[in-house]
């Protein structure tokens, strides 16, 4: 496991959520200095802690462990599908119709 990449990804997702190190630490049941050490690759977290951090940031472990993806669109497609599946049926249909309309516009203007 590359702890530098892990730390950078934790920091990236923490900031995306607008969390301070202290807020993330509270959600994970550890100290903010421990989060800081992990983000700076000076501390090696347990697997349990990495799972708690991933859950607190609402990301999967691969989001935290990978530097980049060879097929990044697969990650986005999975995330979109997971979000849409949580909606009631009527909202799912509206979301799909909106996405289809957006895709139609992209195709029309990219020609």
pLDDT tens digits, one per residue of 26-79: 999 999 999 999 999 999 999 999 999 999 999 999 889 987 655 667 767 877
Q: Do both 79 and 54 map to the same domain? A: no
Q: Do both 8 and 52 map to the same domain? A: yes
Tell me which of 65, 83, 101 is where a domain ends: 65
User: Could you tell me the pTM of the whole model?
Assistant: 0.63
Tell me which of 31, 47, 65 is where a domain ends: 65
| DSSP conformation class of 67 | S
Look up residue 104 and give its two tokens: 């139609």
Q: Do both 12 and 58 map to the same domain? A: yes
Work out how many domains the chain is built from and give that number.
2
Q: Do both 7 and 60 map to the same domain? A: yes
In the predicted structure, residue 105 carries a pLDDT above the cut 80: yes
Rounded-to-integer distance, Cα 5 and Cα 104, Å: 37
- The boundaries of the domain holding residue 90 are 72-109
Average pLDDT, the chain: 91
Rounded-to-integer distance, Cα 78 and Cα 38, Å: 27
Rounded-to-integer distance, Cα 76 and Cα 82, Å: 10
Q: Do both 29 and 55 map to the same domain? A: yes
């Amino acid at each position: 496991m590359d702890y530098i990449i892990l730390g950078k990804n934790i920091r990236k997702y923490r900031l995306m959520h607008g969390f301070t190190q202290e807020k993330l630490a509270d959600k994970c049941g550890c100290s903010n200095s421990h989060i800081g050490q992990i983000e700076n690759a000076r501390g090696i977290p347990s697997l349990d802690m990495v799972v708690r951090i991933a859950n607190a940031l609402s990301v999967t472990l691969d989001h935290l462990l990978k530097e980049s993806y060879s097929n990044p669109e697969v990650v986005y497609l999975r995330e979109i599908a997971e979000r849409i599946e949580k909606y009631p049926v009527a909202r799912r249909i509206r979301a799909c119709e909106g996405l289809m309309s957006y895709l139609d516009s992209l195709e029309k203007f990219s020609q």
